[in-house]
A and B are shown apart, each in its own frame.
Chain A
Amino acid sequence: MAAAAVAAPHLWLPTTREAWGATLKKGEPIKVGLLFSLTGQLAVPEEDSTLVMQYAIDEINKNGGIAGHQIQPVIIDAKSDFNVYSEKAKELILREKVIAIFGCYTSASRKAILPVVMSQNSLLYYPTCYEGAECTQNTICTGPLANQHSKDLIPYMVKNFGKKVFFVGSNYVWPKESNKNAKIWLQNAGGELVGEEYIPLGSSEFGPVLGKIRDTKPNFIFSTVVGASDIAFHKQFKQEGFKVDAMPIASLTTGEIETKAMGAEFGAGHFLSAPYFQSLDNPTNHKFVESFLKSKYGKNGSTHYNMEETYLSAYVFKAGLEAALNKTGNIEEVTSRMIRDVSGGVKVDDSISPEGLIWIDSDNFNTWLKPKIGQCQADGSFKIVAEAKEQVAPDPYSIYPNLGKCTATGLVAPDGKARKNVI
């Protein structure tokens, strides 16, 4: 009687780990989430991110997968809506039980999903440049931080064009933080800031800013204008009669897609700092460009820094998972957090990485990379005019030393207090 009462409702209690969050199973594909926008304002860069991730996953699978397991992407359209990002991140982790999410392009979307990623102790690969000032135990970033991005660009421009510079940026967190870094480089290089302006995101009216630039007569312009505005900026720069050889724009964003969209004649002569250019002359990159553009994912016709950083994140994941497997020997025991913890120091060497050898910092889990400076040519391709001699260390708190130092276990303040999950 009593036994029947207990048996009847068939109480089910999760006794295995698989009831909670992600698990990997022997012989089953490894599920990862691709959380990018395929529609809306952010679709231009993020569609390329999704395509290149699918390409990278196909490539890894074709070469035997990871320890014999195929990777299976779960592709989500985040619709350029930050609510959708956080909702879908939750769904990817809890329902799809993905081991890692590759996603986001803007800092706003990253900050929208990080609380979910952190509370589930999952793993986010953030595959583009950002401002830093974050120290979580659940993120790996494969793009340049603000402290790496403009370090060589500013002295290069001051040396070749003159001391006076005008900063133009889109009005949100990344340009403002980037410019704080750039001001330090400018000071070290003996340059002079003659003006600083921020344009509302998405605005296409640069008349007033160009008027001020005309009045202050800088030797070059340092730009962190993003997206459609960036294209309008370059077009109006030329239409208003500014000459690129007298006052070039040194940008952190104007790459191959932007140049194609504005028309090469508007991009020619300007400078870009990035770890990757389509025109990089090395066998790995030649192979990457050729086979990517030939594949079914290469429909947009070019490769660019954001794409390549995303491509690398797939291989950083592969290296991290392999390192975790080495440690446990059993794929069913690998968790998201374990992959992240063993990813410190993992390398993607120049036989895979089109931009050359990179590795993950074992304190802050950003990427050691070589920023390069390219000048846009008349055909829209970039000519590399300078390259860092060695990989530059990522430092998410370079301009906020008072806040502390990011370590693998948290942000350690100067007084020795450690805080976890700082975003």
Chain B
Amino acid sequence: MGAVYSYSYSSYARNLLGATIASLAVWAGLYLLLTGRGERFNVGGYLLRISPYMWALYGISFCIGLSVVGAAWGIFIAGSSILGGAVRTPRIATKNLISIIFCEVVAIYGVIMAIVFSAKIQAVNSSSGFSRSDYYTGFSLFWGGLAVGLSNLICGLAVGITGSNAAVADAHDQQLFVKILVIEIFGSVIGLFGLIVGLLVTGKAEDFAGVI
């Protein structure tokens, strides 16, 4: 019974908190609007005030972070099935390491792209601040990094699931391994697409230099 009470109490507290935040936001919005300062609520201006370094470094961390999450996730999906299948048929363990390697490659893509991206970051010494080109570099690194990271995450999951299928099928029937491996290779190509697009997106971006 205690659990029931505490649950309803915590949901009550959460509702109260939500209502408070919503009413504060409405109050602040109306205050700005009615005192003639509505233009202060400016998403575009806010985004422009963010430093290009911030954009670029976020892009790089998304790129490597999401890639590693994808690789790790794929490895545990494939790995636990290989482990289970290998209890009865130990021969699948060595053969199916290739699924683990396919997942690992996804993380390597992320590392390579992070290195390529971070080469564009340099200290800006100009006294008049960032140039327009620096902003372009920041944005392109952000979205390029996000594209690479997300496609590698999905690729890692796809390869992990097919790798798990391959392990289970191989344990049952040896002939199925190669057939499923072909599908797995197609899955692992998805990450390569992200890599290519990431390179293209950031290809025209120049190194940070500041206003010369």
Asked whether A and B interact, the reply is no
> Which residues in B have some Cβ–Cβ distance to A below 8 Å?
none
